[in-house]
A and B are shown apart, each in its own frame.
Chain A
């Protein structure tokens, strides 16, 4: 009889093991819950950041063949022969604010020396990517609007605004 009891217990758990497993299991669930809680807490649900849509004013503020940097919104408004377009002024390397150099006819980053063409194309690194084009359109009042959160393909017909 005692042997039978042993065999029956071999692949099952006794009361002590059951409660130990139950305890460890609930601790594990609680730890996973705490991790999820901490992650959600650390991620802000509301951001008090400026709107990604910028009003750049009336298009006639920008003369033909001009490049204008708006320091506060970190975008260029460029009036080219094809129309108006907007470039991000944030360097694709490490996020510094680039500047338009009219004497060199290029955009240059002061931090690590990246250089870009007026159309955003990279001339030299360390920036890995060209400056992205941003969506531009005219609102009902005739103001030029730029959506900094939306990239558009460069040099495409739809990426320009014509007035």
Chain B
């Protein structure tokens, strides 16, 4: 009797190598499926069980997941772009032109990076609107809303620092204007401006600082907060569902009681 594809996969899952990596083993019992999530370093951030209706499009419009998707695209396109880009004043603009017109697929990668960045900003706002209007920020999820606000700031700072890197007139004046806004901070505004640019004007130091922030510091910080954000979804009782909120359940129970009393 010929084996089905599923059976080949089951055989693979029984091999010693597979079992040494994924401990939970084969089988589709509730326990095994829960273990498969719980014993995976990436998936263990999420709940082991989710209501199927919470995975439907209408529950979340997948806005958070789509934001993560754009973030992955930005990492995947940003790293190859770094291979041709020198963050130095004489080279940065020429490298950007090379990426656009000389490097194979450079224009594709650069445009994909740019459009994903725009999409990510849009999706972050859409995600926050959805969470806000559904009331999903309320107790016990208020701390995760705070983490979300930090992630919004990370997204905007990533956009802002990336804006300087083409080193053209648009970038130069946008960062001149933007960094002057930082000077408006009371008392230490000028100090922040000086430290951010590494000088008094948008110069070679500023380009290098923005490059390091854009490619190193901010993405790492964003990943750190994304991990906390996902972990908190589980810790705060899973994705928000209006019908299973404690207050709603209590109200429902009360209504049921009253109806029962009236019937007597």
Interface stretch, picked from A9-17, A43-51, A99-107, A131-139, is A43-51
**B176→A44 contact, CB < 8 A:** no
Interface stretch, picked from B12-20, B197-205, B241-249, B256-264, is B197-205
List residues of A (3-51) whose CB comes within 8 Å of B's CBs.
Answer: 42-44, 47-49
Distance in angstroms between the alpha carbons of A42 and B213 in the assembled complex? 13
How many residues on the B side are at the interface (Cβ–Cβ under 8 A)?
15
**A94→B176 contact, CB < 8 A:** yes
Please, what's the 1-or-0 string for B202-244, where 1 marks a CB less than 8 Å from any CB in chain A? 0111000000000000000000000000000000000000000
Q: Tell me whether B195 is interfacial, beta carbon within 8 Å.
A: yes
Assign chain A's interface to a size class: 10 to 19
Q: Tell me whether B177 is interfacial, beta carbon within 8 Å.
A: yes
Residues of chain B within 8 A (CB-CB) of A43 are: 194-195
**B200→A47 contact, CB < 8 A:** yes
Residue of B181, B199, B205 near A94 (CB, 8 A) is B181
Would you list 20 pairs from A and B whose C-beta atoms are within 8 A, ordered by A residue? A42-B195, A43-B194, A43-B195, A44-B198, A44-B199, A44-B205, A47-B199, A47-B205, A48-B203, A49-B200, A49-B203, A93-B180, A94-B177, A94-B181, A95-B176, A95-B179, A95-B180, A96-B173, A96-B177, A111-B173
Distance in angstroms between the alpha carbons of A91 and B180 in the assembled complex? 11
Residues of B within 8 A of A (CB): 173, 176-177, 179-181, 194-195, 198-201, 203-205
**A interface secondary structure, majority:** loop
Residues of chain A within 8 A (CB-CB) of B181 are: 94
| With A47-B200, A49-B203 as contacts: A96 and B195 at CB distance below 8 Å | no
Residues of chain A within 8 A (CB-CB) of B200 are: 47, 49
Residue of A nearest to B193 (CB): A95
Residues of chain B within 8 A (CB-CB) of A95 are: 176-177, 179-180
* 9 pairs of A and B residues whose beta carbons are closest in the complex: A94-B177, A95-B180, A94-B180, A95-B176, A47-B199, A42-B195, A44-B198, A49-B199, A96-B173
Residues of chain B within 8 A (CB-CB) of A47 are: 199-200, 205
Residue of B nearest to A111 (CB): B177
Residues of chain A within 8 A (CB-CB) of B173 are: 96, 111
Residue of B nearest to A149 (CB): B200
Residue of B nearest to A48 (CB): B204
Residue of A nearest to B178 (CB): A94
Distance in angstroms between the alpha carbons of A136 and B198 in the assembled complex? 28
Distance in angstroms between the alpha carbons of A111 and B172 in the assembled complex? 13
Distance in angstroms between the alpha carbons of A49 and B203 in the assembled complex? 8
